[in-house]
Amino acid sequence: MTPFSRDMANADIVVVGAPFDKSAPMNASHKYGPKALRELSKNFMGTTEPWMDGKFDVPFDLARIVDYGQVDTYGCFDLSQEVEVVMEHFEKIVLEDGCSTFTWGGDHTTRYVPLNVLGKLHAPLGCILFDAHYDLVTYADFPYRYHSGNQFAKNFAEGTLDPERMIQMGIHGRMTGLVGGHAKSFGVTSYMPDECRDMHPKEMTSKVIEAVGDGPTYIFDLDALDAIYISASSAAEPFGLDANWCWDVIRHIRASEKVNLVGADVVEYAPQNDPAKTFVYVAAALSWKILCWIAADMAKNNGVDHPTVWEQALGSVTLG
């Protein structure tokens, strides 16, 4: 519901759509994800939502949030070229204009870009990951510059992401046996869904806070969720995490005020695998809740609230 703008001079947080779709291993159509999420987000988000202690979340009162729309990569038939086009936009948004980003993917390739630029601004980042997959494939495993499984290893190598401040929850399914050794070698902390479910969300929260510390941190979500909540992704994985369990962990981390969230994404939503629009609600709601957290931390870091300005809001619309 936030205003469309590419005027970054008057923005703190920029919502960006990144249409990566080329290296989804099974289901595809992620390039339509930002459009579907944006459309549904107008249905029930953007007003007020209960937070805690009788307070409500109104992120637009805390930070200047703009919707950048989707980066246009039409005609980029080569994935490396597409990453570079998206990277140019993010470099402008983050490195030139100093904004934080909330990114809608796109398949998992998406993450490489915001992690890279936010990691250059805040280097290095910590990372709270809800994912069914390690995504720690290295160039030695699979010699392609960019794909949906190497974004963390590449950012470790480039110094933008700190493996020892990274915690992964919900790892199972595709590639787990092959890549699991890399997590230990890099020093990444990982938990499988069974281990997560055996823990109270507050216990998991303590482990997350211990892992990432109080440095700048990035968070993502989606295919860690059980296929009941999300099967419209590249690689749906049954026996994953419960959506409410994930929200409880996110909620307790935010409430602790011990983690400094500087950026986030929700990737992997593939709308053509969601014809009844069952899963888009979870993806849009998580997006909203995480955006509220970024705005709260932005206002805390700034020491001042910067309300979003809607030039065409009801009450100030002109026909001239």
- Select from 84-92, 133-141, 210-218, 259-267 the region that touches Mn ion (CB under 5 A): 133-141
Integer CA distances (angstroms), 42 to 13, 78, 81, 281, 288, in order: 18, 33, 32, 11, 11
Closest to Mn ion by CB, 21 or 67: 21
Closest to Mn ion by CB, 82 or 223: 223
Here's the x/- map for Mn ion, 77-116, by CB under 5 A: it reads as: ----------------------------------------
Closest to Mn ion by CB, 5 or 27: 27
**Binding residues for Mn ion restricted to 112-131, rule: CB under 5 A:** 131
Closest to Mn ion by CB, 176 or 260: 176
CB of 241 to Mn ion, least distance (A): 12
CB of 304 to Mn ion, least distance (A): 37
Least Cα distance to 81 among 73, 91, 89, 72 occurs for: 73
CB of 291 to Mn ion, least distance (A): 21
Residue 133 contacts Mn ion per CB under 5 A: yes
Closest to Mn ion by CB, 68 or 134: 134
**Binding residues for Mn ion restricted to 199-228, rule: CB under 5 A:** 223
| Strand 260-266 versus strand 100-105 pairing type | parallel
Residue 237 contacts Mn ion per CB under 5 A: no
As a whole number of Å, the end-to-end CA separation of the chain is: 23
- Shortest-Cβ-distance residue relative to Mn ion: 133
Binding site for Mn ion (CB under 5 A): 131-133, 223
